[in-house]
Structure 1
Amino acid sequence: MFDRVEADGASDEAGGKSLKRSAALVLLLAIMLASSSARAAGGPHVVDDSEPETPGVCHFETWVSPSLSGGGYVNESPACTMTKIPWLQLGAAYQHFWGPTFNGPIFGPAAKINFRHEDSGLGVGLGLNSGVNLQTGELATASTLMLVTVPIDDRVRFNFNAGWSYVNSDTPNSFFYGGQFEAEVGGDILLMIEAFGRAANSPGTQMGLRYTPHGGPFDFDLLVANYFGAVNTQVVTFGVTIRY
């Protein structure tokens, strides 16, 4: 009987560690998915659009994403598009992650190449990013994604992403997919709903609002995401973007 109790206790402890590890992986995936981007699909939105930042303009995005089950991360990511190279956006991203099984900073470059502007009726681009764990020097995340934007009118558009995703985990290489709906609903507010995932992991969804006062240089984001898996993880995000 005592042997069984001890075995059950060990099993419960192992199960608890497994659940914590699953939650930590979900948050690490969130870091990888929330790549630096431009315009309405930028900031803490997971799915990206095809368009680089306005030529001659830079932006600085920052947000905090605490998980309701513990852990989370903070992001800071600048990016610019030069007037002489209007099809290329270059930037970097720094994230500090905290959780039950991993605490540390991740830093790396990010780029977006535009092949076809959405003004033509179909936007096409390529997103590239990677991140290194600054504590260990190991590659933590990386991705190469095709970015497609389909504008419906001046207020509504769809964004689609697909490509290679790397996360330093049990299943490092995987296919990433995502789709996003955006609509300007009035009052300087944008509604966003998206679904995304890696083939090696369970999918996630996110929705929220972006407030851009008078169409100016500031964006304010409020988002709620749900990452499905062995542990369903809910993440709330508060973000601010400034363009200059």
Structure 2
Amino acid sequence: MTALHFLRGTLACCIGVACVSTAQAAGGAHLVDDAGVETPGVCHLETWVSHHRHTAGGMATLAPACTFTALPRVEFGVSAERAWGNETMTGFGPAIKINLMPVETGLGIGIAGSATHNARAGRTDAARIVVPVSLALHDGVLAHFNAGWLYERTGARQHRRFAGTQLEVAVSNSLTLMGEVLTRQAERTGAQLGLRWSAGRKDLDMDLLMGRRIDGQARRTVTLGVSLRR
């Protein structure tokens, strides 16, 4: 199956979920993004479910993306998300990441953007632009830094700056430990700690994450994520 066919098929699935269900923008289950893009000619499907323990609210996300061999430094993606709790909302939207300097050089730099369209209200509710920087500190140890701009239509402050840091340590060939913090303007700092298990061929990842104020408000959040590649 080609990357284009995979993206078309998964996009159709995501739009179907959005139409039957109304959400917020993504960046994956992790708060902080890296500077790299998917392997050229490969697509992935990231899925995750987050549960806010003190409110019984949460969010479920489907986010496919592809990097085409003709554009090896550009990753194209979409997402479909459903949030529930104080209010229920379904959204979907595009995402793009451009790698400006490969992570393999020891210092990776990129730029990424995404937007979320509120399916029920028929409007764009959120958008994000971020500059991710990845630094190889040691064999199996990476640090990621983010700085960017966030727009939220319904927020008390619609335009905000944000910044984050993540440390990623390979415990073994199949297990990675991750810790990260993210601060958004006029909100409390959020943090998340987790483990990622990767299957032997690296075409399957599973994440288990524990977070605190990952959206600036929810005190405790548990997230389970699964990523598939082909």
> What TM-score, normalized by structure 2, do the two folds share?
0.85
Rounded to whole Å, the distance in 2 between the matches of 1:180 and 1:120 is 19
Residue of structure 2 in register with 1:188 after alignment:
174
Which among 103, 112, 120 is matched to residue 135 of structure 1?
120
Q: Which residue of 1 aligns with 2:19?
A: none
**2:70 — aligned with what?**
84
State the AA in 1 paired with 2:65: A
1:222 aligns with 2:208: yes
Query: Contact 1:221 / 1:238 at 8 angstroms: preserved in 2?
Result: yes
- Which consecutive residues of structure 1, in runs of 5 or more, have no partner in the other structure? 1-27, 36-42
Deviates more, 1:194-203 or 1:177-186: 194-203
Question: One-letter code of the match for 1:153?
Answer: H
Equivalent in the alignment of 2:223: 237
Aligned residue in 1 for 2:186: 200
SS in 2 for 1:107: strand
Q: Which has the higher helix share?
A: 1
In the alignment, which of 144, 155, 158 is matched to residue 129 of structure 2? 144
- Provide runs of 4+ in structure 1 moved above 6 Å: none
- Quote the residue 2:111 is aligned against: 126
Do 1:63 and 1:76's aligned partners in 2 also have CA atoms closer than 8 Å?
yes
Deviation at 1:153, TM superposition (A): 2.7
Q: Which runs of 5+ in 2 are unaligned?
A: 1-22
Partner of 1:39: none
Greater Rg by CA: 1
**What secondary structure sits across from 1:45 in the alignment?**
coil
The equivalent of 1:170 in structure 2 is: 156
**1:180 aligned counterpart, secondary structure:** strand
Pick aligned residue for 1:60 from 41, 45, 59: 45
Q: Could you report, residue by residue, the CA deviation over 1:162-216 in whole angstroms, capped at 9, with x for unpaired residues?
A: 0111122111110010000000001510000000021121110001000002242
Residue range with higher mean Cα deviation, 194-203 or 234-243: 194-203
Please state whether the residue corresponding to 1:186 is helix, strand or coil: coil
Q: How many residues align structurally? A: 206
Q: Secondary structure at the match of 2:171?
A: strand
The Cα RMSD (Å) is: 1.7
Shift of 1:137: 1.5
Percent identical residues:
37
Q: C-alpha distance in 1, partners of 2:124/2:177?
A: 34
TM-score, normalization by structure 1: 0.81
Change beyond 3 A, Cα 1:229–1:138: closer
Please report how far the alpha carbon of residue 49 of structure 1 lies from its aligned counterpart in structure 2 after TM superposition: 0.4
**Alignment partner of 1:97 is 2:89:** no
Q: 8 Å contact 1:63–1:74 — kept in the other structure?
A: yes
Aligned equivalents of 1:49 and 1:124: distance in 2? 8
**Comparing 116-125 and 77-86, the one that deviates more:** 116-125
